[in-house]
Amino acid sequence: MALEIQIAKKLPDFTLDVSFATGDDPLAILGPSGSGKTMLLRCVAGLERPDRGRIALHDRTLTDTERRIHIPARHRRVGLLFQHYALFPHRTVAENIAFGLRHLAGEERAHRLALLMERMHLTGLERRYPRELSGGEQQRVALARALSIEPEALLLDEPLSALDTHLRSRVEAQLQETFAGYRRPALLVTHNIEEAYRLGRELLVLSRGRVAAFGPKEEIFRRPPTVEVARLTGCKNFSRARMISENLAEAVDWGCQLRVAQALPRPAVQVGIRAHHIDFVESSPGAAPEDNVFPCWLVRSSETPFRITLYLHLHRPPGASSEAHLQAEVFKEKWQRFRERPLPWHVRLSPESLFLLPE
């Protein structure tokens, strides 16, 4: 089954203009706030009409502006999970979930409801009202209601953003379990990079209404096509680049030459590396420039419970007003192993981890 989308819709600050198709693997849609992610879902769900274009689900046309087709939302068989769940406050858990089962006979409706309650780990909560549930329980009720119509596509709009860290982990596991058994098109909108990577098989990066990247998530993170996509997927280290030869680049802002594994059909203007790909190595006196090993000094650091970000100055000790050249992220266990070493430390920028970016 495939979901095909080719639409344009004028928004206050830009035009949402996207074209892509996705199959049975979950697609994570990543982008900053206000990039058009939610509007895209609303158009697929039938809650908004695009100005032009077509949306097709399997062999059914849901929207076609040229042919003046617009199937109402209630007939699209598309399940939509809102960011804040949108449960009916005066209906019980069972009544909320059964809302999409009204067309079934009583016995079949009860059977389907029991299956959904068990699948979403809600058994025993049938008579409770939304106000009596935790955030995670409300989210599971909303997901069960979205699945109750046996939708041919599932749309999730920031489903984890309103949850605390503990609940987010539990509900994310529930979503992974749901996707594993669903095997139909599923679009997951998020602005959380790690969430997009964990839950999506493919990734679509949206920027001001345009598709900036689309494809397997591993490839987009490993070889982002532009500086914008690299930034949106969490890369923090960039330098202006000048190509010396096919596999040798000058990193202008880092003051060094780098051997690179990637070749570009167009001249590169930037080189980048992700913070967690920077390696700390033993001192290597006399290393050749092509080894990509450089001395560095610590400018400052920033901690989270499990990781530390190190801001590094290359080649010489930083002056009073020096800025860091690179950010490196390491787990604290590794940090403990080299933090007491005398400066300078040495970092290696692996040719396979560096990526070149065109204009």
Annotate 183-252 with three-state secondary structure.
CCCEEEEECCHHHHHHHCCEEEEEECCEEEEEEEHHHHHHCCCCHHHHHHCCCCEEEEEEEEECCEEEEC
Q: How confident is the model at residue 242 (pLDDT cuts 50, 70, 90)?
A: very high
pLDDT band at 289 (very low <50, low <70, confident <90, very high): low
CA distances to 14, 147, 295, 318 from 315, rounded to whole Å, are: 44, 57, 5, 9
Considering only CA atoms, which of 282, 281, 319, 315 is closest in space to residue 299?
319
349 pLDDT tier (thresholds 50, 70, 90): very high
* pTM greater than 0.75: yes
Alpha-carbon distance 199 to 191, whole Å?
Answer: 13
- pLDDT tens across 50-90, in order? 999 999 998 899 999 999 999 999 899 999 888 777 788 99
User: Backbone phi, then psi, for 131, in 5-degree steps?
Assistant: -65, -15
Q: Show the domains of the chain with their CATH numbers.
A: 3-228 (3.40.50.300), 235-359 (no CATH)
DSSP state of 60: E
Strand partners, 54: 6, 64
Question: pLDDT tens, 117-142?
Answer: 888 888 899 999 999 998 888 888 98
Measured CA angle at 340 (ends 324, 236), to 5 deg: 25
Q: What share of the chain is helix, strand, coil (3-state, %, to 5)?
A: 30, 35, 40
Q: What is the pLDDT of residues 20-58, one digit of tens each?
A: 999 998 999 999 989 999 999 999 999 999 999 999 998
Q: Which two tokens stand for residue 95?
A: 């009544």
Please give the C-alpha separations between residue 16 and each of 22, 189, 243, in angstroms, as whole numbers: 18, 15, 36
pLDDT class of 150 with cuts at 50, 70, 90:
confident
Phi, psi of 225 (to 5 degrees): -75, -25
